[in-house]
Amino acid sequence: CGVFAVRLPEPADVASLCHLGLFALQHRGQESCGICVSNGEELVIEKDMGLVAEVFTEARLDKLRLPGARVGLGHTRYATTGASLRFNAQPLTVRSNKGILALAHNGNFTNAGRIRREMLEAGAIFNTTNDSEVMLNLIARYSRLSLEDATARVMGELQGGFAVVLMDRDRILGLRDRNGVRPLVIGELGGGYVFASEPSALHVVGATFVRDVRPGELVVADSQGLHSRQVLTPNPTPCAFEWIYFARGDGALDGVDVHAARVRMGEVLAAEAPAEADVVVGVPESGLAAAVGFSRASGIPFDLGLYKSPYAGRTFINPTQRLRELKVRLKLATTSSVAGKRVVLVDDSIVRGTTSGRIVQLLRSAGATEVHFRVSSPPIKYPCYYGIDTAARKELAAATMTLEEIRERIGADSLRFISEGGLARAIGLASTCLACFDGRYHAGHPEDEETLRPV
Ligand code: 5GP
Ligand code: SF4
Ligand code: MG
């Protein structure tokens, strides 16, 4: 998911800023989106299933253009917990002892199922099956604490990987879990502040990058400006998949430039898994940067061997296998540059193997004489419990098949993955989450199966 929040010192068209911010975060979730705006008295919210461009018609944006508005937040969602239904769309809003609150969340709480059950037994009611609602309820429960103190308390009670933005009538809050699994950055705009999942959303609204929210930190933007407290002892293990695939290539997360890291992954891959070939082709868009790196390090020329329809969207975000399969053809075709050539095909990941197999077929039918598949992430063997839908374990190609079986399934002449150490070196941080590759869940296992099953 993608989150965005803004607070300006003077009234402004906050709705349009949120709208732009969500556009730049569309790649983080395409199922639903929403925006919530307040002018200190009223609060309006518009959310629905669909893309930002579909949901936010001019008429709908007009409803959000509250006179005097200074704060707003928004969300783009893809479902990891909670069914893909309208009532699960975010932001979520509640009326509480702290006034009206709105919240948007990226990631998963691994203990939300248990907390939800305990609260239900104690008489609480829930409107959604979304674990974000658990967080809002927990905050409201601390009726004697200020919003900031209650939020800080709740950060310690929730486990998992999450980045959250929260607002009341006149403030915005941004926070990350103690591992900083999901990204959240701070920007400055006209004397006010913006929180966003990625720098792409700061860029689009004209905000200047200030810094990342630190793991375990709670940052508040209010009439006093920006202030922060380190609520939890940080243990940074940000998600490696953000650099491999998920984040947009035009910014840096936790100080590591996303595009440069992808190029380095390709360079490492070329050193670890060389191939005899005539041309390097990347699978657009997410495999291109690693293909550039592979080409640079190997000296094999890079070419655009695959054409990607700019209108097809990201295949993995569609929740059903059938749609994913159909969409591969909708999305990709070959160019003339591969005919009669031995091709190194570089992609960011193999999840189920469906896309990869079809791309190999496409290249062969376009006349490629050999296809050597190189992958800039290690084999994905374990599920993600922290907000990226890397599929159930039984669907993961690398969880159930050997390297040779996967190679055969996708029909490549050779198949190699970057090593875990090579990936870590390419990113260059002291430590990152690699749980979907190595099964080491630094931010905790889900407490029970139910936590991750839609209720
Ligand atoms: P596959 O060959 O596993 O079907 O698809 C691999 C390609 O699709 C990669 O290019 C990757 O970017 C994307 N992809 C497909 N499904 C998923 C998924 O469930 N999670 C992620 N992170 N990427 C996926
Ligand atoms: Fe990212 Fe994988 Fe860790 Fe999930 S398990 S947070 S996808 S590195
Ligand atoms: Mg891809």
Residues 380 and 300 in one domain: yes
- 205 and 303 inside one domain: no
Unique residue bearing structure tokens 């800080």: 152
- Give me the number of domains the chain comprises: 2
At 452 the pLDDT is 45
Indicate whether 292 belongs to any domain. yes
Residue 79 belongs to some domain of the structure: yes
Residue 331 placed within a domain: yes
- Nearest CA, atom 13, ligand 1: 316
Mean pLDDT of the chain: 92
Residues 229 and 266 in one domain: no
Residue 442 lies in a domain: no
Same-domain status, 87 and 234: yes
18 carries an active-site annotation: no
This prediction's pTM:
0.93
State the CATH number of the domain containing residue 221: 3.60.20.10
Distance in Å, CA 206 to ligand 3 centroid:
29
* 394 has pLDDT over 80: no
Rounded Cα–Cα distance for residues 326 and 355 (Å):
10
Q: Does a structural domain hold residue 248?
A: no
Q: Whose CA is nearest to atom 2 of ligand 2?
A: 436
Query: Are 172 and 64 within one domain?
Result: yes
Counting ligands in written order, the one closest to the CA of 423 is 2
Mutate which of 28, 245, 321, 349 for ligand 1? The one with the most ligand atoms within 8 Å of its CB, which is 349
pLDDT at 433: 98
Predicted confidence band at 354 (pLDDT cuts at 50, 70, 90)? confident
Residue 450 has pLDDT above 50, yes or no: no
**Contact between 350 and 406 (Cβ < 8 Å):** yes
- Which atom, in ligand 1's list, is nearest to the CA of 353? 2
- Range of 263's domain? 257-432
Which tops the pLDDT comparison, 124 or 322? 124
* pLDDT band, residue 313 (cuts 50/70/90): low
Atom of ligand 2 nearest to the CA of 435: 5
Question: Is residue 438 domain-resident?
Answer: no
Q: Whose CA is nearest to atom 24 of ligand 1?
A: 316
CATH number at residue 280: 3.40.50.2020
CA of 414 to the centre of ligand 2 (A): 26
Q: Which ligand 2 atom is nearest residue 382's CA?
A: 5
Digit-coded pLDDT (tens) for 113-123? 899 999 999 88
pLDDT for residue 367: 97
Which residues surround ligand 1 with Cβ inside 6 Å? 245, 283, 286, 315-316, 347-356, 388-391
Strands 302-303 and 172-176: unpaired
User: What 3 state SS string does 40-105 have?
Assistant: CCCEEEEEEECCHHHHCCHHHHHHHCCCCCCEEEEEEECCCCCCCCHHHCCCEEEEECCEEEEEEE
Same domain, 111 and 158: yes
Tell me the per-residue pLDDT of 178-192, one tens digit each, with 9 for 90 and over: 999 999 999 999 999
